[in-house]
Structure 1
Amino acid sequence: MAGAEPFLETARDQNGRQPQQEMPANVRFGQRLRKVAAIDVGTNSTHLLVASVDVGLGTFSIELAEKSTTRLGEKDPDTGELTAEAMDRGMSSLRRFQELAISHQVEQIVIAATSAVREAPNGRDFLQTVQDQLGLDVDLVSGPEEARLIYLGVLSGMPFGDRPHLVLDIGGGSTELILADGRDARALTSTRVGAVRLQRDFVKDDPIPPHRRSFLQAFIQGSLEPAVDKVHRRIKPGETPVLVATSGTAMAIGALAATDDDRPPLKLHGYRVSKQRLDRVVERLVVMTPEQRRDLAPINDRRAEIIVPGALILQTTMQMLGVGELVLSERALREGLIVDWMLRHGLLEDRFSFQSSIRQRTVMHQAQRFAVNQVRAERVASHALSLYDNTQGCLHRDDGSGRDLLWAAALLHACGQHINLSAYHKHSWYLIRHGELLGYSESEHLMIAAIARYHRRSLPKKRHEAWQALQTRQNRRTVSEMALLLRLAAALDRRPDPVVKTLAAQFTSSSITLELVPERLNQNLSLEQWSLESCESIVREVTGLNLKVSVQE
Structure 2
Amino acid sequence: MVNSIPKPQNNPVTLPIIPPDQDRILAAIDVGTNSIHMVIARIQPHLPAFTIVGREKATVRLGDFCKKTGELSEEAMDRAMAALRRCQDVAKSVNAEHVIAVATSAVREAPNGQAFLQRIENELGLWVNLISGAEEARRIYLGVLSGMSFDNQPHVIVDIGGGSTELILGDGHEPRTLSSTKVGAVRLTAEHIKTDPISSTEFYALQAYIRGMLERSIEDLQAHVKPGERLRMVGTSGTIETLVALNAREKFGTVPTPLNGCEMSVKDLRDWVNRLRKMSLSERLVIPGLNERRAEIILPGAMILLEVMMQLKADSIVICERSLREGVIVDWMVAHGLIEDRLRYQKSVRERSVFKTAQKYQVNLAHSQRVAEFALSLFDQTQGKLHTWGEEERILLWAAAILHNCGHHVGHSSHHKHSYYLIRHAELLGFTEMEIETIANLARYHRKNAPKKRHETYRNLTSKHHRRVVEQLHSLLRLAVALDRRQIGAIQSIECRFDAVQRSFQLLITPTQADDPCSLELWSLDFKKGEFEAEYHVKLTPILQAN
Q: TM-score range by the shorter chain?
A: 0.5 to 0.7
Asked whether the 8 Å contact 1:76–1:83 carries over to 2, the reply is yes
Asked whether the 8 Å contact 1:36–1:53 carries over to 2, the reply is yes
Please state whether the residue corresponding to 1:43 is helix, strand or coil.
coil
Superposed displacement of residue 259, structure 1: 1.7
Query: Which amino acid in structure 1 is aligned with residue 108 of structure 2?
Result: R
CA distance in 1, matches of 2:54, 2:335: 22
In the other structure, the counterpart of 1:341 is 332
Structure 2: tracts of 5 or more residues without a match: 1-19, 347-547
Q: Residue 261 in 1 paired to residue 257 in 2?
A: no
CA distance in 2, matches of 1:200, 1:280: 24
In the other structure, the counterpart of 1:104 is 94
Asked whether the 8 Å contact 2:185–2:297 carries over to 1, the reply is yes
Query: Which amino acid in structure 1 is aligned with residue 284 of structure 2?
Result: R
How far does the alpha carbon of each residue in 1:262-317 deviate from its partner, in whole angstroms, 9 at most, with x for none?
Answer: 46423221111111111112222111111221222221110000000101111111
In the other structure, the counterpart of 2:76 is 86
Asked whether the 8 Å contact 1:155–1:354 carries over to 2, the reply is no
In the other structure, the counterpart of 2:293 is 302
Please state whether the residue corresponding to 2:327 is helix, strand or coil.
helix
How far does the alpha carbon of each residue in 1:483-526 deviate from its partner, in whole angstroms, 9 at most, with x for none?
Answer: xxxxxxxxxxxxxxxxxxxxxxxxxxxxxxxxxxxxxxxxxxxx
Superposed displacement of residue 353, structure 1: 6.6
In the other structure, the counterpart of 1:155 is 145
Superposed displacement of residue 98, structure 1: 0.5
Asked whether the 8 Å contact 1:81–1:122 carries over to 2, the reply is yes
In the other structure, the counterpart of 1:529 is none
Query: Which amino acid in structure 2 is aligned with residue 281 of structure 1?
Result: W
In the other structure, the counterpart of 1:453 is none
Q: Residue 292 in 1 paired to residue 283 in 2?
A: yes
In the other structure, the counterpart of 1:514 is none
Query: Which amino acid in structure 2 is aligned with residue 216 of structure 1?
Result: L
RMSD of the alignment, in Å? Answer: 1.6
Please state whether the residue corresponding to 1:52 is helix, strand or coil.
strand
Q: Residue 212 in 1 paired to residue 181 in 2?
A: no
Please state whether the residue corresponding to 1:77 is helix, strand or coil.
coil
Asked whether the 8 Å contact 2:174–2:345 carries over to 1, the reply is no
CA distance in 1, matches of 2:341, 2:67: 44
Superposed displacement of residue 354, structure 1: 12
> Residues 262 and 197 of structure 1: is their aligned pair in 2 closer, same or farther, counting only changes over 3 Å?
closer
Please state whether the residue corresponding to 2:50 is helix, strand or coil.
strand
Q: Residue 274 in 1 paired to residue 265 in 2?
A: yes
Query: Which amino acid in structure 1 is aligned with residue 167 of structure 2?
Result: L
Please state whether the residue corresponding to 2:244 is helix, strand or coil.
helix
Q: Residue 133 in 1 paired to residue 119 in 2?
A: no
CA distance in 1, matches of 2:54, 2:114: 28
In the other structure, the counterpart of 2:222 is 232
Q: Residue 326 in 1 paired to residue 323 in 2?
A: no
Superposed displacement of residue 320, structure 1: 1.1
Asked whether the 8 Å contact 1:39–1:46 carries over to 2, the reply is yes
Superposed displacement of residue 169, structure 1: 0.3
Once the two structures are superposed, the pairs formed by residues 402-421 of structure 1 within 5 Å of their partners are none
- Structure 2 residue corresponding to 1:180, chosen from 155, 170, 180: 170
CA distance in 1, matches of 2:216, 2:289: 32
TM-score, scaled relative to structure 1: 0.58
CA distance in 1, matches of 2:258, 2:198: 31
In the other structure, the counterpart of 1:165 is 155
CA distance in 2, matches of 1:319, 1:202: 21
How many percent identity over aligned positions?
Answer: 50
Q: Residue 76 in 1 paired to residue 66 in 2?
A: yes
In the other structure, the counterpart of 2:241 is 251
In the other structure, the counterpart of 2:185 is 195
In the other structure, the counterpart of 1:59 is 49
In the other structure, the counterpart of 1:121 is 111
CA distance in 1, matches of 2:97, 2:133: 27
CA distance in 2, matches of 1:131, 1:350: 35
In the other structure, the counterpart of 2:414 is none
CA distance in 2, matches of 1:49, 1:309: 27
Equivalent residue pairs, number? 326
How far does the alpha carbon of each residue in 1:434-458 deviate from its partner, in whole angstroms, 9 at most, with x for none?
Answer: xxxxxxxxxxxxxxxxxxxxxxxxx
Please state whether the residue corresponding to 1:160 is helix, strand or coil.
coil
Superposed displacement of residue 78, structure 1: 2.0
Asked whether the 8 Å contact 1:153–1:332 carries over to 2, the reply is yes
In the other structure, the counterpart of 1:37 is 27
Query: Taking CA–CA contacts closer than 8 Å with sequence separation of 6 or more, which of the two structures ends up with the larger relative contact order?
Result: 1
Query: Which amino acid in structure 2 is aligned with residue 61 of structure 1?
Result: T
CA distance in 2, matches of 1:261, 1:77: 41
CA distance in 1, matches of 2:317, 2:195: 30
Asked whether the 8 Å contact 2:169–2:175 carries over to 1, the reply is yes
Query: Which amino acid in structure 2 is aligned with residue 303 of structure 1?
Result: R
Asked whether the 8 Å contact 1:52–1:62 carries over to 2, the reply is yes
TM-score, scaled relative to structure 2: 0.58
How far does the alpha carbon of each residue in 1:342-386 deviate from its partner, in whole angstroms, 9 at most, with x for none?
Answer: 11111101552799xxxxxxxxxxxxxxxxxxxxxxxxxxxxxxx
Superposed displacement of residue 79, structure 1: 1.5
In the other structure, the counterpart of 2:274 is 283
